[in-house]
Structure 1
Amino acid sequence: MNRLLLACCFLVVSQIHAGDFRVGAAQVDITPKNGTPLGGYYKFRGSEGVLDPLYAKTMVFEKDGTHAVIVVLDLSGTVRPLVAEMRKVIQEQCGIEGDHVLISGTHTHSGPQQPRGSLMDDITKVNSPAGVSYISALPGLVAQSVKEAKAKLTPAKASVAVGKEDGISFNRRVLREGVKEAIWQPQKLNPATDKPAGPIDPDVGVVAFHGAGADAAPLASFLNFAMHPTSVGGGTKISADYPGVFTRLITERHGLGMISVFANGCCGNINHGDYITGKRRSTLELGTALADAADAAWSKLQPTTAYAPRVRSEQVTLQRRSYTPEQIAKAKDMAANMFTKNYGTVPMAETVCILETEEKKEKNIPLLAEVQVIALSDDLAIVALPGEIFVELGLALKKASPFKTTLIAELANGSIGYIPNRDAYPQGNYEVVSARNEAGSGEKLVEVALRLLSEVKKGK
C-alpha cells in the first residue's frame, strides 16, 4: 500500500513538473463616466461621450506552476504608485507574484489622466472627485481581468511572426539645414532642406496563442507596433484610438473568441503625422493598415516551443536633469500665470518638467525606472520599459537582443516621461525639454535590458 501511495505521489509530482504551457486571456471594461479628467494634453478635458470603449486586456501564461501576466490598459500610460497597488491586489486575489506582472498603457490620448505628482495634476484636474473615483476603481478592475484570464488557463501553442508597415508612421522630429534645434511635428517637409531626425520602426509584431489541438482556435494574440495614438485628436470623447481598431479587426478576422492585446513599442518620437504628403489618416485607416500588415504576418506564423515563463526585473536609478537658476525662476513665473495665459505646449511641458524635477530633488526622491523582461521561449522575449522611449533605443535593443524576436512594451510599470536617445539632447524641442532624465539614461536602460535578456536566455 505504501509503495502504491508513493508511486501515485511520484506520478502526480512528475505531471506537475512536466505540465503543459497554458494561456488564458480576458478583458474588462474600464471606460470612465462622463466628467472624468482626460490625459494626453496640457489642459483640462472632462470626458463627454464614448466613441469606443476602453479595456484592461490581460494574458496569463503558466507552466509548471510559474506564472507571468501581461496587462495592457487603454490609457495614456502607467504611474508607479498605481502599478504597485495593482500588483498588490493581483497578488492577493489571484495568487500571482506582483513582480511577474507587466502592466502597460497603449498611450491613447483619448483616455483618463492618472496622477503624476506634478503641476500636471492641477492642469488636468486629475484629483477632482471624478478623477479620484476613476483611479480608485482601477486596481480592482485590473485584478478582475487577471482573475478571469487565470480561470481560463488552457493548454496552448505559441507562434510568432513579424510583419512590416512603413507607410503610416513618421519620425516627428525634423532637422533643417542650418537650424540647430529640431522641428517638432511639421505639417509639411521641404525635401530640399529638411530630413527626419531619425528612423521609424516598421515592425508589426504578432504572437498567436492557439489551443493545443491540431485545429484549435486562437485563444489570444499579442500585437506590437511603435506609433503615438493621437489620431482622434484633443476632443472630449473617449476612444482607444487606432489600437482599438487594430485589435478589434484582428479578433474579427481570426477568431471571435480570441482576446487581442496591443502593446505600444518605442514611439517617443514617432507619430502618424504624414509630412511627406500632408495627409492626415483617420483612426480607422491607421488601425486597418496595421491589421492588414498583421494579416500578412499571420500566414507566416512560425511555432515556438514555449517554456515556463522566465521573468526578471530591475529598478534602475537615473540621474535627474540639472537647471540654471534662471531656468528655474522662469519656470516659476510661468507656472504662476499658466492658468490665465496660453504659453503653448512646449513651454508648458518644460515648465512642468523643471518644477517637478526641482521639487523631487529637494525631497531626495530618486528617479527610478523599472526594466522588466519576460521570456516565453528560446525565440521570444518581451521587454517592458517605463516611459516614452525614442525609437532609436528600441531598434538598438531589438538588434542586440539574444532572442530571435524581441517585442517592447513602453509606458510599462510606471512612466518617467520622455526618454530620448543621447544624440537627441543637443537638438532640443518638445521631447527633450520634457525629459526628466539626463542624457545617456535611455542607453543605460537598454544595457540593463540586454543583460536581463542574456540572463533569461541562459535560464538563470
Structure 2
Amino acid sequence: MVSLPCPLVIFGVVLGVIFAALTPPHGVADEMPKQFRAGAVAIDITPESFPVSSSGSMTHREAVRAHDPLHARCLVLDDGETSIALVTCDSCMIPREIFDEAKTIASEATGIPTDHMLCSATHTHTAVSVAPTFQSEVQHDYIPFLTQQIAKGIIQAHSRLKPAKVGWAVGNNPRQVFNRRWFLRPGTAITDPFDEGTDRVRMNPSANSPTLLRPAGPIDPEIPVLSVQDLEGRPIAVWANYSLHYVGGVPSESLSADYFGEFARQVTRMLESDDARSPVVVTMTNGTSGDINNVNFFEGHPRQEPFEQIRVVANDVATSAMVAHQRTVMEDWVSIDMLETELELGVRQPTEEDVTRAKKLIAEAGSGPWSDRRLIYANETLDLVDYPDTVTVKLQAVRIGDLAIVSSPCETFVETGLAIKKASPFQPTFTIELANGYNGYLPTPEQHALGGYETWRAKSSYLAVDAEPKVRETLLGLLNELKRRERTMQSDGS
C-alpha cells in the first residue's frame, strides 16, 4: 500500500513551486532599472532697477533699460548615482566668489556637491558689471540678487527632475567666426599702450584693408549640441557651444543678452515648444573665443542697424545647431562623472619702471575717466600693483556618456580648445570658458610672443606666460582620469 503525502505537505510543495516561479534568478532582484533624469529652468537675472553699470568697454557705461531679458539658464542631470548642474549666465564675466556662494546655497538645498556644478558667463558685452575691468564700475547692489538667482535656478531645475533621455551631436558653421588677430604687411606701424613697439599682430584691424596679411590663428566652427528630452520625446533642454566672443551692435544705454539670448529664442521657436507648463530651456555656452569674433576682416560688411547682426548670426547658428540636433541619437541612460581641481598660476606684475611710468602719465593727465589707451593702461598698471604673485583657478571636467566638457575661467584662445579636442580621450569634447570665475585672457606662449591687445598686461590679462600650457595639461589630465574611471566602472560591470 502506497502512502500518500498529507495535505499540508502537498500545499507546501505547491507554494514552493509558485515561489520558485516568481523569484528571479540570483542577483536579478538586486538590479533595479537604471533611470536618467533631468530638469531645467531659465531664471531671469535682469536687474530690478536702473540705471546700472554695464561692462564690456574700456570706459564706464550706464544702461537705462534692458532691450531683452538676461537669464541664468540651469540644467540638472542625474544618472541615479551622480547629479551635476550646468549653469550659463548672461553676463560679461562673473568673479569666482559669486559663483562659489551661489553653489553653496544650491548645494545645501539640493544635495548636489559644489564640485559637481559648472557655472559660466556667456560674455555678452552688454550685461551688468559685476567684475572690475578697466574703467567699468562694479554694480555692487546687483551682486546679491545675481547670486540668489543663480542658486534659485539650480534649486528649481533640481526640483523639476523627471525621467529623461539624452543625446548629442556636433554641428558646423564656419560663416560666423573669424580670428581677430592679424599679421599686417611689412612696414605697417603697430602701436601699443606701453610704447614698447614690440607687437607683431593687431587685434581688430580695419576690414578689407590693404595692410592685412593673414590671420594669426585658426577658428573653430564646431557647434556641439547636448539634447535632453522627456520619455515622450518632448524637449527639456538644448545645450549648445560655439567659439564666438559675442556679436555686439547694441546701443550703449541698453542691456542685452546679445546673440546668446537670441539663439535661445530662435531654437525655442524652431522646436515649436510652447508648453508653458514645461518650456524647453535653450542655452548657448561660449567655447574658446578669446581671439575670435564675428567681423569678416577678409571682406567687411555694411553697417547694420542695432541688433540686426545679432539676429542674423543667431538665426544662422541656430539653423546649424538644429541640423545637428535632428541627427542626435537619444539614449535612455548614460553614466555621468565629474572632476574638479585647483591650479596655482603666476601673475605678470608690473616692474618698478612700469609703475613709475604709469604714475607719471596719470599725474600729467589728471584724474580720469580717460579715453587715451596709454592712460587707461597706466591706470591698469597701478591697479595690478596690489595683485598677489599667484592666483588659484578652478578647473573641471564632465563626462556625460561619451561626451566630455571641460571648463576654463579665462577668455581662452581657440588654439587651446582645438588642442584639447584633438588630445581628449572622449569624442566629442568641448570647452566652456569663463566658467567658475574670471581670470582674464589665456593666450598661448606663442601668441604672447606676438603681442596684441589680448596680451597687454591689465586686469583683463594678467596670468603668467606659461599659464596656458598648465591649464591645458591639467584639463587633459582630468579627462584622462575620467576615462580611467569609466573603464574601471565598465570592468566592474557597474
TM-score normalized by the length of structure 1: 0.89
Q: Distance in 1 between matches of 2:359 and 2:144?
A: 31
| 1:398 maps to 2:398 | no
1:324 corresponds to: 351
Report deviation, 1:167. 1.3
Letter aligned with residue 452 of structure 1 = L
Q: Distance in 2 between matches of 1:326 and 1:444?
A: 29
Q: 1:333 to 1:100 in 2, by over 3 A?
A: farther
2:271 to 217, 230, 254: 254
- The within-5 A match list for 1:31-430 is 31-32=46-47, 33-116=49-132, 120=134, 123-126=135-138, 131-178=139-186, 180-190=199-209, 193-213=212-232, 216-233=233-250, 235-256=252-273, 257-279=279-301, 282-303=309-330, 306-334=333-361, 337=366, 339-344=368-373, 348=376, 350-351=377-378, 353-361=380-388, 366-377=390-401, 379-430=402-453
1:20 to 28, 35, 40: 35
Q: Distance in 1 between matches of 2:412 and 2:262?
A: 23
| 1:432 maps to 2:440 | no
Given that 1:306 and 1:376 are in contact with CA atoms closer than 8 Å, whether structure 2 keeps it comes out as no
Q: 1:382 to 1:353 in 2, by over 3 A?
A: farther
Report deviation, 1:438. 1.6
Q: Distance in 1 between matches of 2:383 and 2:244?
A: 27
Q: 1:159-214, CA deviations, whole angstroms, 9 ceiling, x for partnerless residues?
A: 1111111111111110113365211101224477511010111011111111124x
Letter aligned with residue 307 of structure 1 = V
- Structure 2 unmatched runs, 5+: 1-18, 189-198, 274-278, 487-494
2:479 corresponds to: 453
Q: Distance in 2 between matches of 1:207 and 1:383?
A: 14
Given that 1:320 and 1:357 are in contact with CA atoms closer than 8 Å, whether structure 2 keeps it comes out as no
Q: Distance in 2 between matches of 1:245 and 1:297?
A: 18
Given that 2:397 and 2:475 are in contact with CA atoms closer than 8 Å, whether structure 1 keeps it comes out as yes
Q: 1:36 to 1:193 in 2, by over 3 A?
A: closer
**Counterpart secondary structure, 2:254:** coil
Report deviation, 1:28. 0.8
Given that 1:93 and 1:143 are in contact with CA atoms closer than 8 Å, whether structure 2 keeps it comes out as no
Report deviation, 1:334. 4.4
Q: Distance in 2 between matches of 1:43 and 1:277?
A: 29
Given that 1:218 and 1:255 are in contact with CA atoms closer than 8 Å, whether structure 2 keeps it comes out as no
Q: 1:236 to 1:64 in 2, by over 3 A?
A: same
Q: 1:306 to 1:358 in 2, by over 3 A?
A: farther
**Counterpart secondary structure, 1:24:** strand
Report deviation, 1:340. 4.7
- Structure 1 unmatched runs, 5+: none
Q: Distance in 2 between matches of 1:44 and 1:12?
A: 65
Q: 1:286-313, CA deviations, whole angstroms, 9 ceiling, x for partnerless residues?
A: 1011011112222222345753421111
Q: 1:174 to 1:97 in 2, by over 3 A?
A: same
**Counterpart secondary structure, 2:237:** strand
Q: 1:326 to 1:87 in 2, by over 3 A?
A: same
Q: 1:40 to 1:306 in 2, by over 3 A?
A: farther
Report deviation, 1:61. 0.6
Q: Distance in 1 between matches of 2:272 and 2:425?
A: 32
Identical-pair percentage: 29
Q: CA RMSD in A?
A: 2.4
Letter aligned with residue 212 of structure 1 = L
Report deviation, 1:64. 2.0
Given that 1:187 and 1:273 are in contact with CA atoms closer than 8 Å, whether structure 2 keeps it comes out as no
Q: Distance in 1 between matches of 2:261 and 2:100?
A: 26
**Counterpart secondary structure, 2:236:** strand
Given that 1:189 and 1:195 are in contact with CA atoms closer than 8 Å, whether structure 2 keeps it comes out as no
Q: Distance in 2 between matches of 1:352 and 1:296?
A: 48
TM-score normalized by the length of structure 2: 0.83
**Counterpart secondary structure, 1:275:** coil
Structure with higher Rg: it is 2
Q: How many residues align?
A: 436
Given that 1:23 and 1:62 are in contact with CA atoms closer than 8 Å, whether structure 2 keeps it comes out as yes
